[in-house]
Structure 1
Amino acid sequence: VSGAVGLIIADVIAGFDYRDLAEQLVAEHPRLRHILVDGDAGAFQSWSALKDFEGSPLNITVDTSGPAVLLVSGGTTGLPKLIPRTHDDYLYNAAACAQACEMVHDDVYLAVLPAGHNFPFACPGLLGSMTVGATTVYTDDPSPESAFALINTHGVTVTGLVNALAKLWAQACDWEPVLPTSLRVVQVGGSRMSPDEARFVHQGLSSGLQQI
C-alpha cells in the first residue's frame, strides 16, 4: 500500500466497512490518492460512475516488473501471507494457463468460484480468457441447477471447480434435466483427486479434466 496510487474496494462486506479502513490508509500514505468503491462510495469515488467519465485519461507509466497484485496465501503454514505478483509474472501465468487449456477466442469461461481467488482469476480464469479474447460468464450460484442452465445458455466451454463441487456436478448429471454438454475442459483445484474420482468426474461431465 505504501507505494500505491489507488485502490479499488468494496463498501461493506460481512459487516466490515472498507471505507473506514481506506480513510486510515489515506491518512497514513500520502501517495494513495484514488479510492474507488464498488457500492456506496461515501466520501470516495464510485467505481460504477467511471463509465460516465469525460475527462482526459490519466497518463500513468507502469513498471511491469513491479507488483501488480498482492495475493493472500492459503495459510497452510500458519498465518496467511501476502504474495506479491508482478505484472509480467501474472500476465505470463494467465497466458500460459490459457495455452495449457488450448483456449481460443471462441471459448466461454464460467467463473463459478469467487473470481478474486487466484484459480478463477488467472489459471487461466478471467485474465487468461482475456489473453485470447474469450468470453467470461460470472455467477454466484454454483449449484448444478443454476450452473448447468448458464452453461447451456452461454455455451460455456471451460470452467474451474474445487474437488467436492466437481463430484457434485458429475452426480447431478443423473437427475438434472439440462446437462452441461458444451463443456470442453473442467479444471479441478484445491485438492488432488484420486484416479477413481477423476474418472467419475470425467465420465459424469463428459468433458476433458485438468488437475490444477
Structure 2
Amino acid sequence: MLKSIKAALLALMLPLAANAATYEEGKHYEVIAERGTKKPEVTEYFSFYCPACNNFEGLIEEFKPKLDDGVKFKKSHVDFIGSRDPEHQKMIATALATAEVLPQKKQIVSAMFNHIHTKRGKFNELADIKDVFVAQGVDGAKFDKMYKSFSVRTKASKMARQQKQLQEKGALSSVPTFIVSGKYKLVLGRDSGITSPDDIAKLINYLASK
C-alpha cells in the first residue's frame, strides 16, 4: 500500500519536474542582468512604426490574460525605428506615457498603430497625436494637461533611460523585444519553439517566478 502511494506521488511529481526543465537559458531566454525588479513584470520594447510590433498586438492580447496574477505587463517605446528626429521620437514616447495613465489606453495604442499602418497617416506634430486621443474619447484639455505633466514626462524619460541601458548591454537591437523582470530576455520564434500565446505566457510565468 505504501509503495502504491509513493508511486502515485512520484507520477504526479514527474510532469512538474519535466515542465521545470523545459526552458533552457540560451535557447528560450537570455539572462541580461544579475538582479531583477522587485515585482514580477514583463516589458515589451516596441515602436509604433514597427510593422512586426503592429502584427504582434493580436498575439499580446491573447497571452496577457494567461499571465499569472501579479505579473504586470508594460510597454516601452524605442527611438530607433521610424523618424530619426530625436524630438519626434520623444513626442511619440510621451504620447504613450500619456496613454498609460488614461482609461482609454488600450484603444489609444490600437488607434496609433492603425493611424500609421492602416490609414498610412503621419504624426507630423503634437496636434496629430491629440486628434487620435480625442477620437478615442479623451477631452482635449485633459490631454494637454496630462501630456505636459511631470509624471508623464518622468515616465517617458524612464523609457529612454531603460532603452539606453539595454542597448549598452547588447540586449536591445530589434523590436518587439520582451524583457521579464528586467533580468530575462525572451527568445521567441521557430528556433526556440516559443510561438503560440500559450507558450509565451508559460515562459513569462516561469521566468517571473524565478
TM-score, scaled relative to structure 2: 0.24
Q: Larger % of strand: which?
A: 1
TM-score, scaled relative to structure 1: 0.23
